[in-house]
Amino acid sequence: MNPKKASQSSTIALNRRARHDYFIEQSLEAGLVLQGWEVKSLRDGRAQLSESYVVLKNGEAWLLGCHITPLSTVSTQHTRPDPTRTRKLLLNERELSKLAGSIMRKGYTLIALKMYWKKNRVKLEIGLARGKQEHDKRTSLKEKDWQREKQRLERYSR
């Protein structure tokens, strides 16, 4: 195996706030329709998912709020790079209808969790999420701290 490829991570961008602000009920993998300059920027790791979400319109899924910063070397003669343009997601009809039925329930939304490479294709992990309230967030933090403390105690007891 090529050591250069082994050291590189396949993750492009990660939405860390998503698991803090939402309960993730289900996750799906979707492809992205991208332009050439976007792929070059993603190879350089210039993507941000922090404010991104997914909407369903006319039987299609669209990614909004994802920011891909264009490289300075992108030719501006033929294309005008729009960093926050709406990007189409590639899902089959069965997945789309399942998601549409799920978000009809009160309090559910679709958010982008992670963008990564899979066999030289850009994939997006989207999650069916329900918003957390303030007390839920505090409970999650306490649980996370307890798990960390438990691991620390196990390490020292050996």
Q: Is residue 52 in some structural domain?
A: yes
CA 82 to CA 45: how far, in whole Å? 17
Q: What is the pLDDT of residue 1?
A: 46
Q: What is the CATH number of the domain that holds 25?
A: 2.40.280.10
Number of Cβ within a 10 Å radius of residue 137: 12
Residue 13 phi/psi, 5° resolution? -145, 150
- With respect to residue 5, please indicate whether it lies within any of the assigned structural domains: no
Domain total for the chain?
A: 1
**Structural domain contains residue 127:** yes
Global confidence as pTM: 0.77
Residue 3 within a domain = no
Domain for residue 146, yes or no?
yes
CA atoms within a 13 Å half-sphere pointing along the CA-CB vector of 57 = 9
From first to last of its 158 residues, the chain has per-residue pLDDT tens of: 454 554 467 999 899 888 888 888 899 999 999 988 889 899 988 899 988 999 999 989 999 999 999 887 766 666 678 888 899 999 999 999 988 888 887 778 899 999 999 998 999 999 998 887 777 788 888 888 999 998 988 888 77
- For residue 101, the enclosing domain spans 11-157
Nearest-5° angle of CA 28, CA 7, CA 35? 50
pLDDT at 60: 93
In a domain, 6, yes or no: no
Domain assignment present for 1: no
Structural domain includes residue 87: yes
